[in-house]
Structure 1
Amino acid sequence: MSTPHTIFLQDSTPPTGRFRPYASTKHRVTRGRYITSNDPRGYIPVYEYPLNGQYIMMDIDDGYILWTGIWKALGNAKADIVKMLESQPDLAPQLRRVRGGYLKIQGTWMPYEVALRLARRVAWTIREDLIPLFG
């Protein structure tokens, strides 16, 4: 459900960022744009697709990955992600946290390279489902 400050907009403009999803016969990746006051741009343009009741998202402009979507798609609890990230304090300055607003974009976002390294360590069971993000 949307709040007055956060709504979903269909985005039909061509991709402009350098980050693009890889082709996958198993997943239908769509583009979206979520207006939010949590981002200096005023919105987050994303590639997204559903997985295990969650949305896997990549910021089109800078490649940030919604790690919370991957974490929950693995069947992990929210508290587990906090513990994992707190155990790696060097990650803290690289993370973006989106709280409030549209539920699909809430959570912890991290740079592409960091998300790829973490996915290689903890997301083996859904590796084929992450092909659109990481190839």
Structure 2
Amino acid sequence: GQRFRPYTSSTHHVTKGRYITSNDPRGYIPVYEYPLNGQWIMLDMDDGYVLWTGIWKALGNSKADIVKMIESQPDLASKLRRVRGGYLKIQGTWMPYEIALRLARRVAWPIRHELIPLFG
């Protein structure tokens, strides 16, 4: 079975998706996903990578600011996965679960209740 699963939440409708992409050695990304503020919150069910772009933009931030944030933490760059091309929904910056959780604790307080399916 999958190692990564969403937390149960009565207020969020989390669904499964599978998106074909040439950016991933698997050829696709299997996700749990749900909408938030016009963005998609996504969790890779195989390795727990989180689409940080969705969280960041759901907070009302611009995509350009992600680059600044990442450049301010050089140790982070090697752990990131960038998806370009293919489905618009999965495009952006993906990062390991633990890193996404740490960053969310720092910047995502306004939407913390909306992130329960992801971080509990």
TM (norm. structure 1) is 0.88
SS in 1 for 2:42: strand
2:30 maps to what in 1? 45
2:93 and 2:6 mapped to 1: Cα distance? 20
Bigger Cα Rg: 1
* Alpha-carbon offset, residue 78 of structure 1: 0.8
1:112 maps to what in 2? 97
1:31 and 1:70 mapped to 2: Cα distance? 18
* Alpha-carbon offset, residue 17 of structure 1: 1.5
- Amino acid in the other structure paired with 1:96: R
Residue pairs, 1:69-84, within 5 angstroms:
69-84=54-69
* Alpha-carbon offset, residue 109 of structure 1: 0.2
2:78 maps to what in 1? 93
Out of 52, 72, 80, which is 1:67 matched to?
52
1:25 maps to what in 2? 10
1:31-57: CA deviations, max 9, x gaps? 000010000000000000000000000
Stretches of structure 2 that go unaligned for 5 or more consecutive residues are: none
Q: Which runs of 4+ in 1 moved over 2 A?
A: none
1:13 maps to what in 2? none
Amino-acid identity (%) = 84
* Alpha-carbon offset, residue 114 of structure 1: 0.2
Out of 110, 118, 124, which is 2:109 matched to?
124
TM (norm. structure 2) is 0.99
* Alpha-carbon offset, residue 125 of structure 1: 0.2
2:21 and 2:85 mapped to 1: Cα distance? 9
Task: Count how many residue pairs are aligned between Structure 1 and Structure 2.
Answer: 120
